[in-house]
Amino acid sequence: DLIRPNTNSVRPAYFNSNPNKFQPLNSIGLAFPFDHNHSLISIYSKTKMPVPIWLAITIGATGIALARVDYNMFFMRFFRDLSRSKARARLHNNKYAMIPVMLGIEKPIKIEDDINAEIVMTITREQLEEMDGFDGAPLYLAIKGRVYDVSAGEKFYGDGKDYHEWVGKDASRSFGTGCRGGIDRTGMECLSSSLEGLTEKELKEIDRWVELYETHDKYTFVGHLVDDPVDEILENVQEEEGTDTEQSSGQTTTENVVA
């Protein structure tokens, strides 16, 4: 129906089946937004078409949920799962691998321990920090102590890109929580290797990221992340010196009491 002004009334009119005959909208139960006194009138009240309560609640809840979504992390996980599904289809010849992965109901792939772990390359945290893509250095990251070369994904992991916060460190915690800077809900640093206080869901997210790097056709496993042995020696020496100092202090105190 075509709506156009009625020259004989402030109310709008519409064409009925007879194009030469006008009929005011109010006569069919609809309301002009303002009445003759210019007060707002609800279209729903005139048409007796109230908004269903369930619809109002759904819209409100959806709005609240969307306001809390980290869209950046949402899409990062989406494309991660898309890549994982492709890898599963390629490695296991399963063309339906995408369905359970994208629905989040897939069975996790366990990463087996290296058979020849003693000959696998180890990288210290200091060495990993240097693999940040600057001055020709490759792009390395670590997750759950496993180091991967992600240089092939420079457009994602390069300086200024969304994934760069994970480069040059073991940020396992961030992979699980989605927090990529500052302090997370538990009060711990987001970009940390600690898994303390994480939920089962967050731990599962970490395993999904491990699967991505482990099965990706362009990213490669480099080795295991270890603490610098020199630092361990220095820490042991400091602990021994601290113990000796406490024992010496206790002995002196005892002698003074006896005296």
For the stretch 63-112, pLDDT in tens is 655 555 578 888 999 999 999 999 999 998 988 999 999 999 998 887 77
* pTM greater than 0.75 (yes/no): no
In this prediction, residue 33 carries a pLDDT of 47
Distance separating alpha carbons of residues 151 and 27, to the nearest angstrom: 71
pLDDT tens per residue across span 131-187: 999 999 999 999 999 999 999 999 999 999 999 999 999 999 999 999 988 999 999
Range in 6-15, 47-56, 65-74, 215-224 with the lowest mean pLDDT = 6-15
Strands (E) located in the chain: 3-5, 12-15, 22-24, 122-124, 140-143, 146-149, 220-226
